[in-house]
Structure 1
Amino acid sequence: MAIMRWRPWGDLVSIQDEVNRLFDDSFGRIPARWIESGMRWSPAVDISENKDKIYVDVEIPGMKKEDIKVSLENGVLSLKGEKKQERELKEENCHRVERQYGSFVRSFELPMPVQADKIKASYRNGVLHVELPKAEEVKPKEIPIEVK
């Protein structure tokens, strides 16, 4: 089975790209300050597991670790943060602004209990890595069969 990247706004983004191309072809480039996105920024997330752990990887380049919060409550993993704009674009002639900024919140109900006191999170090269060790009762246990 092939793994496909989930694109919740894929069709909408395709339509937006076509409209942008149409306007660019017809009128030239439109300054970014004239366009209002209206869509909240939401970083891409990969969730996987093996027999011992659940892994969550979040693409959040350009953020500082101080601006990222990871929490677990009632079996729900929450990721919160704010990506700040490096400089304000006031009177500049922007030809294209594609990077997204602002606050985000992502929450995921975990499929099984985890050991909350052993969760580890690290951030490097723009990717947040969260490791959640599974609770002992969830791990598969192999039972030996005795031959008599």
Structure 2
Amino acid sequence: MKPALRNSLLTTFSNLFDDEFFSNAVFRDPGFPAVNVREEADQFQLEVIAPGLKKEDFKLALNDRMLTISAENTTESDEKNVSYRRKEYSYQSFQRTFDLPENIEADSVQATYVDGVLKIGLKKKALQPKPAPKLITIE
């Protein structure tokens, strides 16, 4: 049993410097929603898991190749009774920024928010054909 524990600890320590280890949910800020990024042949699809928000709560900004997704929501529950026993406020906000690849068409970004999931479509630019090699004559 000790060798298994030792191997487990060594694996964990060696994974300490892997990007995958730090992207694990253990190190993610719990205030940030999860984001799934899927690459398709003609686009990237981002899915931001953010239940409880409305589409009006979100702001999307594209500056150069930086896509910033942010949301802010304030909820107030106030019982209008003179002898109220409870008054609650709720505030939720986050901001995530993604460095996009150069082949994204900035004018064709589309976003929808349905059932707690913000979907962002980032269309890829059509690939430009490489010019045919040019033969140069030597004089």
**Alignment TM class, shorter chain as reference:** 0.5 to 0.7
Q: Trace 1:55-66 onto structure 2 (pairs within 5 A).
A: 55-66=45-56
Q: Does the C-alpha gap of structure 1 residues 54 and 86 become closer, same or farther in structure 2, counting only changes over 3 Å?
A: farther
Q: Does the C-alpha gap of structure 1 residues 86 and 61 become closer, same or farther in structure 2, counting only changes over 3 Å?
A: farther
Aligned length: 104
Aligned match of 2:124 in 134, 141, 145? 134
1:71 maps onto 2:61 in alignment: yes
1:36-86 per-position Cα deviation (integer Å, ceiling 9, x unaligned):
xxx772111111111100010001111111110111111111101113335
- Matched residue, 1:16: none
Identity among equivalent positions (%) equals 33
Q: Trace 1:23-38 onto structure 2 (pairs within 5 A).
A: none
Select the structure that is richer in strand: 2
Question: Match of 1:137, SS?
Answer: coil
CA separation in 1, counterparts of 2:125 and 2:76? Answer: 41
1:81 maps onto 2:71 in alignment: yes
- Matched residue, 2:41: 51
CA contact (8 A) 1:55 1:131 kept: yes
Give unpaired runs (5+ residues) of structure 1: 11-38, 93-99, 142-148
Task: Report the TM-score when normalising by structure 1.
Answer: 0.58
Aligned match of 1:9 in 13, 27, 35? 27
Question: Match of 1:66, SS?
Answer: helix
Aligned match of 1:105 in 95, 106, 125? 95
Between structure 1 and structure 2, the one with the greater Rg is 2
RMSD: 3.4
1:75-120 per-position Cα deviation (integer Å, ceiling 9, x unaligned):
11110111333537x955xxxxxxx842210001113321111111
Question: Match of 2:107, SS?
Answer: helix
CA contact (8 A) 1:80 1:104 kept: yes
- Matched residue, 1:120: 110
Provide runs of 4+ in structure 1 moved above 2 Å: 3-6, 83-88
Which amino acid in the other structure matches residue 68 of structure 1? F
CA separation in 1, counterparts of 2:117 and 2:48? Answer: 5
Give unpaired runs (5+ residues) of structure 2: 1-19, 79-83, 130-139
CA separation in 1, counterparts of 2:31 and 2:97? Answer: 14
